[in-house]
Amino acid sequence: MQRIYLDNAATTALDPLVLEAMMPYLTEKFGNPSSIYSYGRESRLAIENARKTVAKLLGAHPAEIFFTSGGTESSNTAIHAAILDLGCTHIISSPIEHHATLHTVEYFQQQHGIPVSLIRVLPDGHVDLSQLRDLLAAHNGKSLVTLMHANNEIGNLTDIHQVGEICKEFNAIFHSDTVQTVGHYPFDLRNTPVHFITGAGHKFHGPKGVGILYINENVQIKPFIHGGSQERNMRAGTENLYGIVGFAKALELAMTNYEKDSANIGELKAYMAQQLLKEIPETSLNGDCFGQSLYTVLNVAFPKTEKSEMLLFNLDINGICASGGSACTSGADLGSHVIRAFNNDPNKVAVRFSFSKHNTTVEIDQVIAKLKGMF
């Protein structure tokens, strides 16, 4: 059976050009970057060239880019540093963050007694930024604000420039989980008021197991992982050499083709949304689908029936890959914490479809036809 892959917010296929860039470092260029002889120097040069590429593409300085194992490690590092190194005594977040953020915030609340304030979520799935200034003003000490740029389940975009400007007023530390937007939007970090952002290579056709943490040059933190002196004494452990090379290549390709790919993918998303609303009665959309929304993510609320309760299973047996929410929580039978936060309708079943440059309107038509037979 030919499969149709519509879960690109979970992970994406590795681009052949990225694999090609990685292959020398999986084979003959295998040296440890910390070794002083030629093999090591060759590997070290590849990492530093990758760092320069990533920094240039994100509008940052190379010294502000640190390579990690992915978005989860990057967010953990930033939140730990804000509390333990930067003196934050209060955390402001939202109930719709990725669990890499929420569980870390809960840890500091439960184990360190750090008070946490959650910004309310509006009916369209956006966080209510009008509440942010009030929450910051109500706390006498220094606050950490951790709000994601784009929600991985419903696609809603938050204005990180607006958040950053509000944080500046109160001398707050601002961390944004940008895992769904690095590689999908242009960044200019020199002109973005943010202290930490995160990225993961596998979200934009790069390899799994590699990510970045951007740390603004005005912020000084201590290592989260201890051991060696890698990543300028900030992240111990032998570097994921071929992953780092792959991350930089994938980001380069993504940004080179951004305008074309984003336009095509956005049209696919709009087409599928319109067809679903037209063809399947009582279907609605979760989040701000046609407004401030990530062009790769479409979250659909289907009417709950005996058939639709098994919707993901039925899609799977028809060769269609979609999800009920974050891949990181797909094993938990609790539904989506994101959907529950703003639209907990017991008569609806939420399914996330997420797109890449490889998807086509022919595939969308095939999925719509299959879905029509499930209701």
Q: pLDDT for 38-84, tens place per residue? A: 999 999 999 999 999 999 999 999 999 999 999 999 999 999 999 99
Judge if 307 and 240 occupy the same domain: no
Judge if 223 and 327 occupy the same domain: no
Q: If we measure between CA atoms, which residue out of 76, 355, 86, 315 comes closest to residue 216? A: 86
Segment 187-200 mean pLDDT: 98
* Helical (H) or strand (E) element with 252: helix 241-256
Could you give the angle at which helices 71-84 and 99-112 cross, rounded to 10 degrees?
30
Based on the structure, what is the number of domains in the chain? Answer: 2
Predicted local distance difference test score (pLDDT) of residue 310: 87
Judge if 241 and 326 occupy the same domain: no
Q: pTM of the predicted model, to two decimals?
A: 0.95
Judge if 226 and 309 occupy the same domain: no
User: Domain holding 349: CATH number?
Assistant: 3.90.1150.10
Given 228, 256, 284, which residue is the final one in a domain? 256
Query: What is the residue range of 362's domain?
Result: 4-13+259-372
Residues in the chain: 375
Given 256, 274, 308, which residue is the final one in a domain? 256
Judge if 288 and 310 occupy the same domain: yes
Q: Which of 88, 167, 289, 328 is catalytic?
A: 328
Known catalytic residue at 321: no
Judge if 289 and 148 occupy the same domain: no
Predicted local distance difference test score (pLDDT) of residue 347: 84
Judge if 249 and 194 occupy the same domain: yes
Please give the mean pLDDT across all residues of the chain: 95
For the cut 50, the answer to whether the pLDDT of residue 177 exceeds it is yes
Judge if 244 and 309 occupy the same domain: no
Judge if 90 and 210 occupy the same domain: yes
Predicted local distance difference test score (pLDDT) of residue 328: 53
pLDDT tens per residue across span 113-137 = 999 999 999 999 999 999 999 999 9
User: Domain holding 26: CATH number?
Assistant: 3.40.640.10
Judge if 165 and 292 occupy the same domain: no
Scanning the structure block, which residue is given the tokens 């333990």? 84
Judge if 274 and 250 occupy the same domain: no
pLDDT tens per residue across span 318-342 = 999 999 865 554 444 457 899 999 8
